[in-house]
Amino acid sequence: MEYVLQTQALGKNYRKFTALENLTMSVPRGAVYGLVGKNGAGKTTLLRLICGLQRPSYGTYSLYGHNQEDPDIIKARRRMGAVVETPSISLDMSAENNLKQQCRVLGLPDFSCVPELLELVGLGGAGKKKAKNFSLGMRQRLGIAVALCGDPDFLVLDEPVNGLDPQGIVEVRELVLKLNRERDITVLISSHILEELHKLATHYGFIDSGRMLRQISAEELEATCRKCVRIDVSDTQAAALVLDGMEAEYKILDGKQVDVYDAANTGKLVQALSEGGCEVYSVQNHDESLESYFLSLVGAGKGGEGHA
Amino acid sequence: MRKLLSANLYAMFRSKRFWIGLFMMAATAVYMVVDINKMKRLAAELDSGLFQSAILLFILLPALGALFINTDYHDGTIRNKLTVGHTRARIYLSNLITNCAAGAIYIAAYEIIYLLVGFPLLGGLSRPQEFLIKLGILLLVFLSLTAIFTLLATMITNRSVLLYCALLGVGLVLAAQMLNARLAASEMVDDYGGVSFTTNEDGTVTTHYLDKNGNPIKPEDIPRVPNPSYVKEPMRSFLRTVNNIQPGGQLVEILEDGHEEPDGSKPQTPYWQLAAYALATSLVFTGAGILLFRRKDLK
């Protein structure tokens, strides 16, 4: 397998604080690699190192096979774009000028890519507008457009949906998927919003306290985890009695919600609950596999009372 | 480097702050001509105001230059340069060159407008060759000042650096004037207890010196004692060298055509020496800046 990025026992210390510790990871070409971790887990530090904003305290990383000390890593960097933390845009410039400015930084011969990029990120009508007047979502999309200048084939996105409204989240998600599928761009995306990552990632890296806990592909994760249905009920006590009677595996989340695992026949389940005096308000397939998997990895699974 | 310079110059030329600075320099040039023209009867000439904008530029350039670099940090756009493979040395040098270019444009704007407005009102230059030499040295002085504030603005990423850089220019000039005043203090001073003045019938004033006991003493009998403020060697040579090296001292040396010595003479540090010091300062600060920037963790 060809890897765009590989790190080997990478570490970063800030005086006495260890932000990254012996982190080894590999991002395959063509993947959407989801970097999963709590706040402060070391995700942004890792991305800063990869982008050359900081130097590792120890360990190495390579981009397209070029080690960080290799002078040719400059060429490898030309093939990447990044949005680390906040979008890197000049607030006093229009969207169009921000892109032109990045074209100059890259030494592109002309600005022909600018209208296309603005269209791609959904800012086609806002090219003349100053970035300081943009909403958070628009700034985020402009940041991605800037990162896409120079036609990179590796995109690094740090918490791209943080602070976005639901529509903004969907737009960024669709954009990332489009870039990955249509332009074959490898994406390394960090997030602590697991539900969102689950809709995007083809590979995962779980990071906690600066250490890589596990790397796993989406297929492997699916195989490891189970599906469940999440039911909103009037009385969880009554529901528990019914589910115990059915010998179902379930988990009570709070006073109104129950997750039922491996529920083959939802209709039968709803009928049984109704007959047991438990009113069912809603039933939805809930894929909490990534969340459960992550919590089990970091050893913080305190989401509710489990029954089998 | 060419790419970074192109991006930097574009950002600079479309910045309102740059144009406000340029307007200030142009306005100062016109004001100076008008002001000198008012004093024409006192044999004022075009040459006297040629470099009077330099002190203003000593405050303006570090503040604007620091703001230019700091905005790159503040907006995060420096990340766009690093991520796509520009080396830190190139980024640092391109910022330095951009700030130098801004300084050179400001000086050129002042001189051109000053001369254009000044020629019809004040006549031609009496010492054009000296003007050109001084202009060359002044550009080098601003190069060394730019090297110093570029280092500061690159290493300190929060907005407070703007204040530090604006104060840097003022501080260097004030420090130079204080040092010059100390170095001009005479070695021996008159030692008397007091002075009294008497107004004569014809309106003239007679000065009477008194000894420490309050008794009148003739001026020729006043004892001479060593001046405690006099700076002795080797500190004297050291402070003179400091003033010759630091940009504020160099500026004062150019503007005042030399420095006063305790014996009343006004020697001038050779221009070649000022130029060499300015170049050396620029090289040292730029080298140190690049080394420190390479090690700096950016967010």
What whole-number distance in Å separates Cα of residue A24 and Cα of residue A254? 38
Cβ–Cβ below 8 Å for A53 and B2: no
Comparing A31-45, A123-137, A286-300, the range with the smallest average pLDDT is A286-300
Structure tokens of B178?
């204080």
- Do B69 and B145 fall within a single domain? yes
Host H or E run for residue B197: strand B194-199
B247 found inside a domain: no
Comparing B27-41, B133-147, B150-164, B238-252, the range with the smallest average pLDDT is B27-41
> In this structure, which amino acid lies at residue B7?
A
| B82 neighbors B88 (Cβ within 8 angstroms) | yes
- Do B32 and B158 fall within a single domain? yes
Residue A302: what pLDDT?
38
Most confident residue range from A132-141, A277-286, B144-153, B249-258: B144-153
Cβ–Cβ below 8 Å for B75 and A91: yes
Edge-first strand order for the sheet with A203-208 is A80-83, A154-158, A186-191, A32-36, A203-208, A211-217
Reported as a pLDDT band with limits 50, 70 and 90, residue B42 is low
Chain A residues with beta carbon closer than 8 angstroms to that of B71: 90
B246 found inside a domain: no
Beta-bridge partner residues of B244? none
- Do B55 and B124 fall within a single domain? yes
Q: Which of B226, B251, B282 is the last residue of a domain?
A: B226
Residue A288: what pLDDT?
59
- Do B122 and B40 fall within a single domain? yes
Q: Which of B172, B198, B226 is the last residue of a domain?
A: B226
What whole-number distance in Å separates Cα of residue B139 and Cα of residue B137? 5
pLDDT over 70 percentage in chain B: 98
Structure tokens of B260?
């006063």
B291 found inside a domain: yes
Helix (H, G, I), strand (E, B) or coil at A118: helix
B201 found inside a domain: yes
B255 found inside a domain: no
pLDDT of B283 above 90: yes
Over residues A190-196, the mean pLDDT reads: 82
Helix (H, G, I), strand (E, B) or coil at A181: helix
Domain of B54, in residue numbers = 2-184+270-295
pLDDT of B253 above 70: yes
Over residues A243-269, the mean pLDDT reads: 83
Domains of chain A, earliest start first: 3-223 (3.40.50.300), 228-286 (3.30.70.3400)
Structure tokens of A22?
């012996």
Q: Indicate the residue of B3, B295, B297 with minimum beta-carbon distance to A105.
A: B3
Host H or E run for residue B101: helix B88-122
**Count of beta carbons in the 10 Å neighbourhood of residue A306:** 12
What whole-number distance in Å separates Cα of residue B162 and Cα of residue B146? 13
Cβ–Cβ below 8 Å for A101 and B7: yes
B278 found inside a domain: yes
Q: Which residue has the higher pLDDT, A126 or B147?
A: B147
pLDDT of B150 above 90: yes
Please name the residue of chain B whose CA is at the shortest distance from the CA of residue A50. B83
Residue A39: what pLDDT?
85
Q: What's the Rg (C-alpha) of chain B?
A: 24
- Do B98 and B176 fall within a single domain? yes
Cβ–Cβ below 8 Å for B76 and A87: yes
pLDDT of A218 above 60: yes
Average pLDDT, chain A: 86
- Do B177 and B291 fall within a single domain? yes
What whole-number distance in Å separates Cα of residue B269 and Cα of residue B272? 9
- Do B120 and B207 fall within a single domain? no
pLDDT over 90 percentage in chain B: 45
**Which residue do the tokens 């100059």 mark?**
A104
Please name the residue of chain A whose CA is at the shortest distance from the CA of residue B7. A104
pLDDT digits (tens, 9 = 90+) for A240-255: 988 888 888 888 887 7
B153 found inside a domain: yes
B236 found inside a domain: no
What whole-number distance in Å separates Cα of residue A223 and Cα of residue A215? 14
Residue B282 Cα, gap to closest chain A Cα (Å): 26
Using a CB–CB cut-off of 8 Å, the residues of B that contact A are: 2-4, 6-7, 10-11, 14-15, 71, 75-87, 295, 297-299
Q: What total number of domains does chain B contain?
A: 2
Q: Which residue has the higher pLDDT, B91 or A126?
A: B91
Q: Indicate the residue of A92, A97, A106 with minimum beta-carbon distance to B84.
A: A106
Residue B268: CB partners within 8 Å, gap ≥ 6?
B253, B257, B258, B259
pLDDT digits (tens, 9 = 90+) for B195-223: 888 888 888 888 888 888 888 888 888 88
What whole-number distance in Å separates Cα of residue A106 and Cα of residue B8? 12
Return the closest-CA partner of residue B245 out of B282, B289, B287.
B282
DSSP secondary structure, B239-264, as one string: HHHHHHHSHHHHHHHHHTTS---TTS
DSSP secondary structure, A36-92, as one string: E--TTSSHHHHHHHHTTSS--SEEEEEETTEETTSTTHHHHHTTEEEE-SS----TT
Peptide bond into B267 cis (omega under 30): no
What whole-number distance in Å separates Cα of residue A78 and Cα of residue A69? 16
Residue A125: what pLDDT?
86
Q: Which of B204, B226, B248 is the last residue of a domain?
A: B226
- Do B204 and B163 fall within a single domain? no
What whole-number distance in Å separates Cα of residue B133 and Cα of residue B139? 10
- Do B63 and B195 fall within a single domain? no
Host H or E run for residue A298: helix A289-298
Mutation target vs A (from B79, B87, B299; most A CBs, 10 A cutoff): B79
Q: Indicate the residue of B7, B14, B295 with minimum beta-carbon distance to A105.
A: B7
Average pLDDT, chain B: 89
How many A-B residue pairs are in contact by the CB < 8 A criterion? 87
pLDDT digits (tens, 9 = 90+) for B72-121: 998 889 999 998 889 999 999 999 999 999 999 999 999 999 999 888 88
Beta-bridge partner residues of A18? A13
Q: What DSSP state is assigned to residue A157?
A: E
> In this structure, which amino acid lies at residue A220?
E
- Do B64 and B39 fall within a single domain? yes
Chain B residues with beta carbon closer than 8 angstroms to that of A156: 83
Residue B245: what pLDDT?
92
Mutation target vs A (from B69, B75, B80, B86; most A CBs, 10 A cutoff): B80
| A81 neighbors B83 (Cβ within 8 angstroms) | yes
- Do B79 and B176 fall within a single domain? yes
Chain A residues with beta carbon closer than 8 angstroms to that of B67: none
Residue A290: what pLDDT?
75
- Do B101 and B72 fall within a single domain? yes
Mutation target vs B (from A49, A53, A63, A158; most B CBs, 10 A cutoff): A53
Residues in chain B: 299
Edge-first strand order for the sheet with A58-63 is A17-28, A3-14, A58-63, A66-67
Return the closest-CA partner of residue B257 out of B249, B267, B244, B248.
B267
